[in-house]
Structure 1
Amino acid sequence: MGRVLCAGLGPGDPDLMSVRSDRAIRSARHVAYFRKKGRPGQARRIVEGMLQPGVTEYAMEYPVTTELPFDSPEYIACLAGFYDDWAQQLAQLAQQEDVLVLCEGDPFFYGSFMHLYTRLQGRAALEVIPGIPGMVGCWWSTSTPITWGDDVLTVLMATLPEVDLVRHMQSADALVIMKTGRNLSKVRRALAAAGRLEAAWLVERGTMPTQRVVPLAEVEGGDCPYFAIVLVHGQGRRPEVME
């Protein structure tokens, strides 16, 4: 009897991967990872050169990404079937030997593996290796602490309605906005309405060789890479003793 093991890969730089994930990747005989059709996949890129010779790879290609609205019944049904199928395949493989699933960042922090994890309950032995979340690598790349003292950190999805984004942005001390991509214009408008735009940073591909860190107010266009996060650093509700 094998198991399904998921390794959190961290924010993108292989040097920021845990020793435990590194060992699991280098010893794996079966490796699965998510990717968009026609792309090598970010998770697979991170482990380039780490896999042992003869490893069997399973590219789990998303059937749909941005072709349909993410909250449409068609999109939801399509992705549900995709996760059902791969959970079945992984469960069958794990009846005989281990299979390792790669996951960028931390698997339990908005990771795609969570959808497999819930479906594999009671069907296979499971183990998850945590990783540094991508947002941590992004705020580290700005060389500025994201929070001070009693600051409240709020993590938002850019897919939220604009009115909800504004409401959360107005009440938070520090902000992390994920899933920006084609929602960048909406995020910019919401930050401007909340009076936070001038303090916002766009971090593209944090910790990776192609990293870009720039004030959001200076960014032109309404799109950015999938691996991009908007940050607003907390100013610090600090007691005097901490000054």
Structure 2
Amino acid sequence: MYNIMFRIALMLLLIGSFTSFATQFQTGSTLERTNNKAAFASKVESLVKVEKMVNALNYEFTLSIDGVSLQKVNATLIEGVPGTITFYDDFNTPTYRVRLNSKFDNTRQISAASSVSHAVQQYVGGVWTELAFPELTYREGVLGKMNMVSEEMRELAIEGKIQLTTVSQAAKDGAMKVDCDNTASAFSDGNIDISYVSPSECCGGRCGTGGYYRCCGVTQCCTCSRCCTTMR
């Protein structure tokens, strides 16, 4: 009788020890699998991480002043970031400058639209003179026009169209740091005969018809038969 009871107690002790070991092993395995899944998910997320994109538009326009047309411009404007296109003569002296700003309107039901404001300036006697501040609201892909007479009795005409696009948040952050006011000369490093990527986030080059151009605060810029980019 005593032997039987001893054997039963021993069996129960062995069963309890095995159950405890199995539980600990299962818990450890579950924890290890959980950690492995978290590490794997983190690696996948870092590999497929999508860079944030922001609104932008390709703006193609022609500006005429007193019946004389400036070069056609096609620039990529970023919403909320001022862009500046400056023209120079053959002696690297500024002639005209156009400051551009875009604002999107996503409330329209017919088609996407954007307003583009223009600050048109002329370089006279070593200072910039304000000529006009026209603003147009475009529907995507639809040609828009405006004719006006400034307070100084200067006749201006703008004709253009937009194409909506996007750029990276990094491109917008870089463009917002640009100082577009420093346009006294086209370039100070001698690279004025070719289009190039500028380390100052501005770009430009020599016009095919003579003179020079410089673009700031935009990611891409094409005018006077030349193109440049600030993208890296």
Whether these two folds match at TM > 0.5 is no
Task: Select the structure of larger CA radius of gyration.
Answer: 2
Q: Which is richer in helix?
A: 1
Q: Which is richer in strand?
A: 2
TM-score, length basis structure 2: 0.21
TM-score, length basis structure 1: 0.21
